[in-house]
């Protein structure tokens, strides 16, 4: 559709990664970064980089971490006119270290950073007023200020006949308050496209079992459900019963962070550019797989040409 750019609302961060495997940050150790990050930012960066019209809504601090993010988004074709530069608060950050069992330790500064301090301004209203699609990452709901912006942006997009996609992206470990759960549930009920991974499908549906969860989400109005399965690839379900499976690309995983976000950015961009489900799944899987081969949460996001080369040169699993 040509309704206008895909917009994404949420946290913009830098990520700083420990170069060794181990437990946390209580001792001095080698780190690498800052890398532009934040699930919504990774999504929109991949969306723009593959050639989809894209705009970001959020905030960074007036510091180098913020400039690193703005430079990256601009380079990849993302409109950042809806990103506020907070004069007082620093850009959000996440320090990450992988443990031997592949779980992760984090030190976050999000709630007390510029990342969480954005609202509905004239600049945001202008971007939302031109948008044809809104993508929401569940993680953004943990910032109280994001909700009014998401609500207003959705009204704006709907007025233009636009659509909504939702990546539940909720941390299983975290318990969310009732208000956040209610907001999440409202988005589930309004989303045209859902992009859950693993257990998020059942969590979003509130029903156990893959088939039952898919059926429940179609009852609630979803028009397309894409289940991400990590190294197993992805599956698209449609209300008429069509099921499209896409095998993963065979790659060596170096840094899993951002795979789902890159998948989503590529998938949404491709669908909005008029590609079939099958084509969009191929680009989504390629974007996710390519991104895990590179250290840094969005360092492996690909252009259309880079992903075409990746698809030509990489075997598929299964």
Q: What residue 49 binds from Mg ion, ligand ATP, none (CB within 5 to 8 A, per partner kind)? A: none
The residue among 67 and 229 lying less far from ligand ATP, judged by its C-beta, is 229
User: Counting contacts by CB under 5 A, is residue 197 touching Mg ion?
Assistant: yes
Q: In sequence order, which ranges of the chain are alpha helices (DSSP H)?
A: 39-49, 64-75, 122-130, 146-159, 178-190, 200-205, 210-219, 259-272, 277-292, 304-313
Q: Phi/psi of residue 262, each to 5°?
A: -65, -40
Nearer to ligand ATP, 63 or 245 (CB): 245
Spatial CA neighbour of 241 closest among 225, 263, 221: 225
The least CB distance from residue 158 to ligand ATP, in Å, is: 26
Report 205-234 residues binding ligand ATP (CB under 6 A).
228-231, 233-234
Interaction pattern, residues 275-314, with ligand ATP; x per rule: CB under 6 A: ----------x--xx--x----------------------
CB 203 within 8 A of CB 185: no
Site string for ligand ATP, 243-282 (x = CB under 6 A): -----xx-x-x--xxxxxx-x-------------------
Given Mg ion, ligand ATP, none, residue 288, with its beta carbon under 5 to 8 Å by kind, binds ligand ATP
Angle, helix 146-159 to helix 122-130, in steps of 10 degrees: 40
Residue 12 binds what, of Mg ion, ligand ATP, none (CB under 5 to 8 Å, by partner type)? none
- By 3-state DSSP, what share of the chain in percent is helix, strand and coil, each rounded to 5? 40, 25, 35
Q: Is 169 in the site for Mg ion (CB under 5 A)?
A: yes
Q: Could you tell me how many residues make up the chain?
A: 318
Q: How far is the CB of 310 from ligand ATP (least distance, A)?
A: 11
Q: Are 52 and 28 in contact (CB under 8 A)?
A: no
Nearest in space to 48 (alpha carbons), one of 25, 78, 24: 78
> Where does this chain bind ligand ATP (CB under 6 A)?
197, 228-231, 233-234, 248-249, 251, 253, 256-261, 263, 285, 288-289, 292
């Amino acid at each position: 559709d040509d309704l206008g750019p895909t917009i994404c609302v949420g946290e913009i961060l830098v990520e700083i990664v420990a170069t060794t495997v181990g437990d946390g940050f209580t001792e001095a150790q080698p780190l690498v970064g800052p890398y532009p990050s934040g699930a919504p930012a990774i999504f929109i960066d991949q969306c723009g980089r593959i050639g989809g019209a894209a705009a970001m809504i959020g905030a960074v601090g007036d510091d180098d971490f913020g400039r690193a993010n703005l430079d990256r988004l601009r380079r990849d074709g993302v409109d950042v006119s809806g990103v506020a530069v907070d004069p007082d608060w620093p850009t959000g950050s996440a320090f990450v270290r992988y443990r031997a069992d592949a779980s992760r330790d984090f030190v976050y500064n999000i709630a007390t950073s510029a990342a969480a301090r954005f609202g509905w301004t004239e600049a945001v209203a202008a971007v939302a007023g031109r948008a044809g699609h809104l993508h929401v990452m569940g993680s953004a709901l943990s910032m109280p200020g994001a909700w009014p912006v998401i609500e207003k942006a959705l009204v704006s997009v709907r007025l233009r006949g636009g659509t909504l996609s939702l990546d539940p992206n909720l941390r299983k470990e975290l318990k969310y308050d009732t208000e956040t759960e209610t907001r999440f549930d409202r988005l589930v009920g309004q989303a045209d496209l859902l992009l859950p991974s693993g257990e998020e499908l059942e969590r979003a549906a509130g029903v156990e079992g893959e088939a039952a969860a898919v059926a429940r989400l179609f009852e609630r109005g979803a028009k397309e459900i894409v289940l991400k399965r990590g190294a197993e690839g992805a599956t698209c379900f449609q209300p008429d019963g069509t099921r499209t499976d896409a095998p993963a690309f065979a790659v060596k995983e170096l840094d899993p962070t951002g795979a789902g976000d890159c998948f989503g950015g590529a998938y949404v961009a491709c669908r909005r550019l008029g590609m079939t489900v099958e084509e969009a799944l191929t680009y989504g899987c390629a974007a996710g797989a390519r991104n895990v081969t590179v250290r840094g949460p969005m360092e492996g996001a690909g252009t259309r040409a880079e992903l075409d080369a990746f698809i030509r040169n990489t075997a598929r699993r299964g």
